[in-house]
Structure 1
């Protein structure tokens, strides 16, 4: 969306036009296993692999989200390889950081200037060498030159830049692993360096130490060198490729290598292209994105990991602007400036905090904007219900347990379109859910009848179990299921080899069967091969396997019918897993029994000699336990104060930032005190907080956390910093009284506009939301809006945040309103527009001047009445002047 303002009314901030025509747009670059982005304001951001300092942030720590690099510096272009980065600043100086692996060079974790020249224009980098073009059109090289990739006529390496020939008409250059390709201003294409695999395009398989011309065409527009292949676009829009092709990365539909430029298809609508190690991506003139070649890490972005021998479209968007490929990941930019990335995230190079490698040792917030009401963890999958009643799942799907016909997936997928789901339960490989109408549904593995549909056939999508409409709760064991109806009756089905159904037999049941005739069952929990339940009179009952004492009845005998556990009548809830059980009494005390080899009982002991606790023992003396969850070798619990606790074998399930050690007594997990529910059975854990947010931790081997270690689809990494297509024709803010500020704005048209949020900041930087006004969606007609800020007695800055229906956001210019009953002085800017400096009248020598861009971000500061403007990118700016004892200033009309 393009947000345009025809005028801005303000009191303290004056519009300052800086003369000139040059502007620096946003660009993105994929290094080997890291990513860089230059924003329109010239700031550089980086993320991903950083062990040798190639990000330039002063550390050697990998970054999973973008971090600013030397924020005071403004950048023009950048190139990066595995451990090293080289970039050109907007002032034409050349800088590098990281470790280049040559000449015993030191490792620099922050940008270090190369030489003192200030006429560098662009850079390109291969595995071991760097090429750069100066503003005078000369080409320069440095680094390793063992294959002649410098183009200087020899194989002599150099630590400092050396000129390539005497030509002064080089336009662009690209470096592959050990070969170089470049275009001159006359449209001719040249290549040199390692050519043993045909990547130079001259029809041979030999190396060249000097540039050789590739064919006679004079209409080459852009070229990109991959690891051992090359791709290029001509001015007529045709696409050409040559070199290695074993994985189809030339895109001609074959795996045949080519030693000369070969046309790719017959389309003449290609705009730009990027060659990766073994893959290629390109943008067409219609803004569509296409990909082909190796796709093992999802780097093509088509939602699969399938190799492609010919171009396939990536999604359906028509606003792609540029693309760059690393070793196994891809980064691209849309025309609105938003940065998207996909592929391997082994080092955080995709840059999304929703992509993490396994295991995740600390609770990771699943989503900041989505709220959940019920979650359940299976062996390697997860099922959850949102507060809107929709059903979602993710993880391993070998038996259909995720509930979708799609193979295993790592991102949450909605199951169907129903909005009446209420609660969920999961076994090892089967899932169940209850709807608000009381119906019961099941899907997944059904080898022992655990779905309850009368068959042993797996189900890949939810099916209704029977016709009953009074199901209250359900619990799934390893391969059996138990449930309570609203009339208090207890039902069970599935595997019964250890008597875990409780019907007095050991035969499996393919349909729900009632257990006894009692109508006072309150809750039930299914373990691997046993079951425990609480009645409304507070008594506790168990049945099934009991080898480790998990039933809590002193002996190790199994029971095929419910047997009472002790004589207490104040049990409140119970949870059981593999072979130990946890229970909470109505007085808030915590009790546990069963196998204790890893300390999962929590009574302070562990090991084989004391591994079986056959009757319930109290855990500590605290009386504020609320919820419990038993896993295979661990236990977790929530107290009434909202804190989370864990104990047992720490394989990452506990969430205490470790995957080692045993904890034989409860230990507090983190500092949060808003936990409401926790669920765990095997190697991963889910937690719900009181605000409805979902948190996940533990093993992520099968992406059961819902946060994959790679993405085969584009993910939004950096929001657009240029506006969206809402045409804003006016935005004003005026004081209407001592406590009231009236804001008004008008739009000429809107496209996919969701709403406008009014924000206020006392300092022009720290904005907070005051309120939201709904937008018009898509409309070609003008609309007027208003909002009243109250109470608003103080001087403050105001802006609009326009939000699109896909949650993309843009910002209006900032306006200022002076404090109530404060007389204002006059502020004048001379000259305006300005070039080298601007003088401010109406302030004294101790005034602080701050130059802000249209989004209110500081660009330059100064003191006194004159602000130098050297090096400021041409554009429209706001000037803020503050001075002790001086009322806010008003600009002249």
Structure 2
């Protein structure tokens, strides 16, 4: 009798409908909530991520924060040999495929921007001769820099300006430079202060080196100096972060991050903020090698930092400010006066924000007219720069 009953049970099990999971495969973004349904009540396990429950016909899986493959397994609670599998592929947006050169910059008491026609404009303090042809020491309104070719973008380091023309020549002028001159050719971007960094065809090179520091540069920030350690942090197009600190042009090493990174900003020389492809913020401390998530840094698409002041641009098109207190960034707070923002810049005195229609806004201290609205009054909210449209990045 027992032999017959056992045979009947085995036959019944063999004839039972196979288990299945719907959908059997799918692609999701990091951290997404995934709904999976089984053909009957089962036990659930997952190789990664977090399951909302482990029993039943329907569960919710919270996908991991890093790209990869998650195998979800269901098992018949009465017969462990009956199983089914589903594969969830976690993908994430990577950083920009090429370095995006800024078209405006907040400098030390001054501002500069490239107009849609390629002309270069500056305003605010002119002590460093950021407008070599202008005799005035300050200008509260944008003034064109004469004698320059058509430019595609502009950056600053300390009190100078570097702009890239349409033929990819890097022009430099400002503090200690008698007038605009070409520093490098075939450049997407260039920074030179002790250690020269050049982006060519999307790859980052250091002066005198034939091999790139990083291939596929999405974003980078540098603290370059003649007499103190230089620091460089790079977000590569594959989402990896590379960092180095040395008295010369530092060799860079990859820094493990919880998820792919698209934007970076140095906090001094030994720390940096990284913005992931999902918009989360992280702080890296070189001394301890630790990475910690930042409160309030969510849905971020760009970050800029100068000294103890910082700004982030979020997916809602608004700009938020934060401070570095005890080496830790505070929760960002929204700045009123501008929306639909696509790019940001910050200096020790003020911040700039570009709206998607080409209107440039400024906020902060204004003792030199660096806000560009015709006055020298400070503003805690964004005010439009007068008489200038700016080229979109």
TM-score bin, normalised by smaller chain:
0.5 to 0.7
Match of 2:151 among 75, 90, 100: 75
Q: 1:276 to 1:138 in 2, by over 3 A?
A: closer
Q: Does 1:185 align with 2:206?
A: no
Question: Cα deviations across residues 54-82 of structure 1 (Å, max 9, x unaligned)?
Answer: 33445473322211123652112222133
**Structure 1 counterpart of 2:197:** 131
Match of 2:295 among 258, 265, 281: 265
After the TM superposition, which residues 508-657 of structure 1 pair with which residues of structure 2 at under 5 Å, given as runs?
Answer: none
Q: CA deviation at 1:241?
A: 2.7
The whole-number CA distance in structure 2 between the counterparts of 1:191 and 1:91 is: 30
Q: Does 1:341 align with 2:362?
A: yes
**Structure 2 counterpart of 1:112:** 181
Q: Is the contact between residue 321 and residue 335 of structure 1 (CA under 8 Å) also seen in structure 2?
A: yes
Q: Is the contact between residue 124 and residue 173 of structure 1 (CA under 8 Å) also seen in structure 2?
A: no
Q: CA deviation at 1:98?
A: 1.9
The whole-number CA distance in structure 2 between the counterparts of 1:353 and 1:41 is: 23
The whole-number CA distance in structure 2 between the counterparts of 1:222 and 1:308 is: 16
**Structure 1 counterpart of 2:83:** none
Q: Is the contact between residue 317 and residue 342 of structure 2 (CA under 8 Å) also seen in structure 1?
A: yes
**TM-score normalised to structure 1 length:** 0.29
Quote the RMSD (CA, aligned, Å): 3.4
Match of 1:277 among 303, 307, 312: 307
Q: Is the contact between residue 139 and residue 170 of structure 1 (CA under 8 Å) also seen in structure 2?
A: no
Q: Does 1:239 align with 2:281?
A: yes
* Structure number with bigger Rg: 1
Q: Is the contact between residue 32 and residue 81 of structure 1 (CA under 8 Å) also seen in structure 2?
A: no
Match of 2:256 among 200, 215, 220: 215
The whole-number CA distance in structure 1 between the counterparts of 2:246 and 2:360 is: 33
Question: Cα deviations across residues 684-712 of structure 1 (Å, max 9, x unaligned)?
Answer: xxxxxxxxxxxxxxxxxxxxxxxx3x222
* Structure 2: unaligned runs, 5 residues or longer: 1-99, 225-229
The whole-number CA distance in structure 1 between the counterparts of 2:251 and 2:262 is: 22
Q: CA deviation at 1:318?
A: 3.4
List 4+ stretches of structure 1 deviating above 4 A.
127-130, 161-167
Q: 1:67 to 1:133 in 2, by over 3 A?
A: same
**Structure 1 counterpart of 2:381:** 713
The whole-number CA distance in structure 2 between the counterparts of 1:41 and 1:35 is: 18
Q: CA deviation at 1:285?
A: 0.8
Q: Is the contact between residue 190 and residue 197 of structure 2 (CA under 8 Å) also seen in structure 1?
A: yes
Match of 1:175 among 202, 212, 222: 222
SS of the equivalent of 1:66 reads strand
The whole-number CA distance in structure 2 between the counterparts of 1:227 and 1:718 is: 33
Q: Which moved more, 1:712-721 or 1:283-292?
A: 712-721
Q: 1:235 to 1:49 in 2, by over 3 A?
A: same
Match of 2:121 among 23, 45, 49: 45
Question: Cα deviations across residues 261-283 of structure 1 (Å, max 9, x unaligned)?
Answer: 32223664111111121111111
Q: Is the contact between residue 238 and residue 268 of structure 1 (CA under 8 Å) also seen in structure 2?
A: yes
**Structure 2 counterpart of 1:538:** none
The whole-number CA distance in structure 2 between the counterparts of 1:130 and 1:34 is: 23
**TM-score normalised to structure 2 length:** 0.63
Q: 1:283 to 1:235 in 2, by over 3 A?
A: same
* Structure 1: unaligned runs, 5 residues or longer: 1-23, 101-106, 142-160, 196-206, 245-256, 296-306, 356-707, 723-893
- Structure with higher RCO (Cα < 8 A, 6+ apart): 2
Q: Is the contact between residue 338 and residue 719 of structure 1 (CA under 8 Å) also seen in structure 2?
A: no
Question: How many residue pairs were aligned?
Answer: 283
